[in-house]
Structures are given as structure tokens and as C-alpha cells.
Structure 1
């Protein structure tokens, strides 16, 4: 006999971790159409020009609001359109990711306009250089704005009360907070001819280029790699740059504390320790993990430990009529897929097959989320058609996060 359907609205319990049998969470079971309605209610989703977007954090605690951000812009430079898309995954707080969202695109646009204006016959390398140097300069500016509060070595000589007055002054506190928080960066840029794509990455967001072949199958090319301690190349780089410092990488984390090895902000890992010890630790708003910051400071010997140099990829785009799309996502989607498809993801055909399944899906003729490619990628990660799995993902009653912030952009090229 078929298993009877669980009634919509029934409260049920589940054990999220096998290793913790005493940890039981409650959730509300939903069936269709209530399930999709709840998904669409909790997500921020839609489309803008050629780009479908979706972002979700189902935890209703206002203090656990999503720190993911994204932006979709068209840049007019000398009457020609450049397409700019970006995903930012903040951590530690909202200040750095919000500042980056507001100011980094403008910062890069100005530099790109100057470069294109000075050299109309630009090369792919020229644009890569604009992106790389622009991101580095932007982050350096965040750090320097805080250092400038203490000219020379004055932070060593000021009293505790004097330092507190400086860092908590209304005109200064946000300069400090932007150094205390951080964000990853994933940028895509397409030139006016639509023949060139650039991807810039800091941190652990991911960009995958999908192209439909003449046979109808899709190919998939990953254009970024994770800048975190689980990436052996990144871990080795940090260790090599800080030779002899046993504590520079611990438990796949920089100084045993932060997962990403490249980011905007996070100046605890970039400035000499005294600026954190005497400066940032005296900011009244504080760190979310104040004690952890205090504990890691003795290991801050030869900063910077977290890099602001992005990985840049330049990809010539095909001029054929074959469809192509760029998938951009924060690591929240990667975590969901690791849980759902841990073994399957290791197969070389995973992403091509998934791109085909999502991007070739026929339109239902409605305006619902089933016609939004970004939402389809997210829905697959939280359980697809499994009503129990999706209900748990969306309605668990817990005051903390049970799911990472997740953002997806699908850019039709």
C-alpha cells in the first residue's frame, strides 16, 4: 500500500544530526501548493534583463538575516553596454558586505571607463588588470581608512580611553566595523560585443559556464575555485607565505579562525595585531565572536594572512548560436548540494547534466518560481519534490540558522 500523505500543517519533529540524538527540531509539514507558496514567500527572487536571481535564508530571527547580496547592472561606457553581475557573501556582520555592494561596482566602473577611454583598442589582459587592481585598491582603502585614525604609531601611545573615543566616534565607527566584518566577491563582466567574459573571485563563491553543444548536450566549465582552507593549493600558499608559523593554518582555517583565505575586509587577519588589540576590540558594537578574536591575536605575527588579490578568468565567448549561461552562486548552494548529492557531485558529468535539466526545462506558462532558473537550482538543493525535505528546509522552528545564506544568479549570455 502507498504511504499515506502527511496532512499539510501537521507539526512534526526530526533529528538534524545523527551524532546528537537528543537534539530534536520541530517543523511544519506542507504539501503542494502550499509548499511552493512558502518557498516563494521566503525567497527573494525574480529576473532582471538576462539574469534570473534567487536568494534565501529561511531563519526568521531578525538577528540572523541573510548576509548575501547580489547586483545586476548595465554600464554605459561611451555609448556601449557592459554587463556587470556580482554576488557577495558577507560574514561576521552586514557592514562590509553592504559597503561593498554600494561602492565596489561604482569604483570598478570608474576605473573601467578610464581604461577603455585611454585605450580604445583594449585587450582582455587590460580588463583583467582593471578588475584585479581595482578590487585590491578598494580593499586597501577600507583598511587604510582605519589606519589613518592613528597617524604614525600613535595607537601605541594613546590611552585606552582615547582609543575608545576615536573608534566609537560617529564619524569613525563604520570605518572600524568595515575592518571587523568581511565578504567574498564573485563578479562577472561581459563586454559590449558579447565576445568576452571576465570572472573575478575572492573567497568561496562559484561561477560555472554552461554551453549547449550542437548535439543538444551541455558542457560545464568551472571558472573559479574556492579560496578556503579545504583547497590544498590555498592552504599551501598561506603556509608558504608564513613559513615557520605552525598556527597559520589550523583545522582548514586561517589562524584556526576563518574559513576563507581571500576576502574583502577581515582586517584582523591583515593588520598588525596591535590595531585589533587596542583598536577594533574597543569598538562598542563588538565582534560576534569577541573571545575567539582575542585568542587568535598571539598568532598574528606576519600579516596579512587573508589575501585581497582576486582570481581573474578571461574567457572568449563563442559567436555561434548555441545557448550559453553563467551560473553564479554563494557557497550556501554548494553546501545544499553537498548534502543532497555528495557522491553524485564527484562524477564529471554532474554539472553538465544539471545545467541541461535546469536550463532546458520547458516553460509552464505561469509566472511562478518553476519558470525561474535560479529558483530551480535552489529548489533542487533543498529537496526538489521531496515534501518532507523541503518542509524541513523551510519551516524548521529554530532561533538560529540551520541553513547557510544561499544566492544564485543565472546569466544568459
Structure 2
């Protein structure tokens, strides 16, 4: 690999989903490729991955863009572990029965993101990973992987064995499992699968709801670090530029134009979840669910305005609120002065299944669980009507800001 010492080799990576050290990632990719080739020698290819390969190879534009994105990354000197579409598909297929191990020094929480990391932000990669047909097939591939991660065979590393075990003392320093519902006396501590562990629940009382009876106190919907606050948001905006302003119509979709119009001139609070965070969503206010819907979208699309210094999907978080796969839940607050609150839960990279639990017509109390992310990276936006918020508790700048606890006070209504 080229001995580049600039910001393209030591990229800023929010949330610990990937290590910041490119040398760790390069070694990971080459080791993964070697294991994938060994498996491919005796195992048939997964149907979903076979269909992905057929789509890319059968479409001249997709084949051109993917080939060029790989070549461009290699020509820049990055170590990928593959040099062709077929070699990439061998690795993707290997991922379908892969459960991430713990690592104290170079944790790879989003392994497929690590594999695609540089082709994603090459000139040919931007258009490639926005292609609707490619994303539709990627969804099937990721659903296949999600099925494995939701089954008992994914529990390989749910052990106390160092260095890979998620219940080892090294891992527990990061996670603090004592605050979660689990039983060390049971096999795999009572977790039925990797996804069951990933979506683990806090013990009763671990995250009390701030001022549960005060409707003016709005709480955090996720255990997440603040990323951005923007006021006077527009119905339509140029979300693809470097500043990445929020574009309400794109966040909620044209079909929900009337809903999006409600929030014009309002404010957006965005936060991102760490790899070690709790991944369930809670109601920021008490009220009635008015809308709850999932949206298909992209999985590995970067904002090209960020350039190769983008830090992968991390620095494209404003952009992905308009294009990535996501879930939208709208709560009409019991407090008429608050009106409706839009909760946008965005899946970014790898599986990122957005699972909605609270449905239209359901009444929720502030702090009630309303859904969760399955395996993968994630970010959350709370969208407020104009004039509703008197002030936010988190204040910029947000560099290195610690996660705000779920159900903690994040905003005060006027």
C-alpha cells in the first residue's frame, strides 16, 4: 500500500464502527480474502450473492462502474484484498456466515463496509452505490446475512474467551454487561443469536426517563452522541453538498409531502450511535403514533462532496438522512404546543435493519420502546415543528462528544 500519511489513510471514523488505522483495515481485508477463498473452494455460493454477481456482470454500466471503482482504489495504493468483481463476490459470500469477533485493538464492527470502504468513495463508486437496482439486490444480500445473525449459529464469539469473546473482561470494559439483561450462568449468557446480543436490553431502572410527567422535557430517543443541530430547515435543500443541510421532503419522501411541510422552518437534532451503544429506540415525547413506515434506500452511498477524506459513511451523516434505508415514526405529542415530532432512524452500512414496533394509533409514554436497529451502523434525527424548541441541552461543537443516554433530557419545549 502507498505510504500515504495524509487524512485519507487515517480517516476520522465516528462511533468505533471501523478502526481509524488504515493498516489494521488493510490487514483485515487481506486476511478475510484468504479465508473467503478457502471457503469458496468447497462451499456453494449463497443464492442472494449469486444474484448480486449476476446483476453486476449482466449490466454493462454496473460492471463498468464496479470494475473502475476497484481499479481506482487499487491505483491509489489501497489494499483491498481483491482486484476484480468475482474476487469481491467471493468475500461477500463469505460474509453471509460471518459473526464479528471482539477485538481490543482493531475492532471491525461493519466488516462489509470495511471491504467496500475505498471503492465507495472513488469517482466511479459514487454513482455505483446510488444505483436503485444494485441497492435492491444489496438489501437481499444483507437480509440473508441478517437471517444468519438472527440464528443460533451466529453465537460463535458470544463467549468469555479472549481475545475474540464478547463476554471477555476486555470486552466488558467497553460494554459493561452488568447493566444489560443477561445471565452468565446460561450458555451464551442467555442470548439466542448475535442480533439478540446486539439489540440487548437495559435492566429495569438503568436508563430512567427524565421528568416523565413534564411534557416540556424532551428526551433522547437513542443512546447516541450529538452530531448536529440545524434550525430553520427547508422543505427541499441541496443535501448532497459538503454542508449537507437537511432536506425535509427527501427525509420523509414526496409521498409524505404534507407531513414534511409541517416541519418547514423547524429544527433537527441528529445523533449517531456507537458500535458499543444500546440500539433500541424510545419515544422522545408522550403521545399517539400518527405515522410509522420504512423506506428502502442506499446502504453504502457516500456524499461525493466530502471527497476521499470523507471518513466513509461517518461524515456523510446529513446526506444519508435523505437517501439511506430508514424508518420514520411520527408522534403527535399530548402537549398541543409541541405538535408532531418526526423520528427518523437511519440504517447505515451492513445489515442495518430498521425494525418498527410502534404502529399508527398506538399511544406511547415518553421513554417507551418504539423500535430498534438490528446489526449495522446507525444515526437518528428528531425533527420538530417551528417555534417548538426553546433550547437544546447538547451544544456545539460536538467533536468527541460522549453519547447522550437514552431517555435523558435533550431539549426543552417552549
TM-score band, normalised by the shorter chain?
under 0.3
With CA pairs under 8 Å and 6+ residues apart, which has the higher RCO, 1 or 2? 1
Give the number of the structure whose alpha-carbon radius of gyration is greater.
Answer: 1
Normalised to the residue count of structure 2, the TM-score between the two structures is 0.27
More strand by share: 1
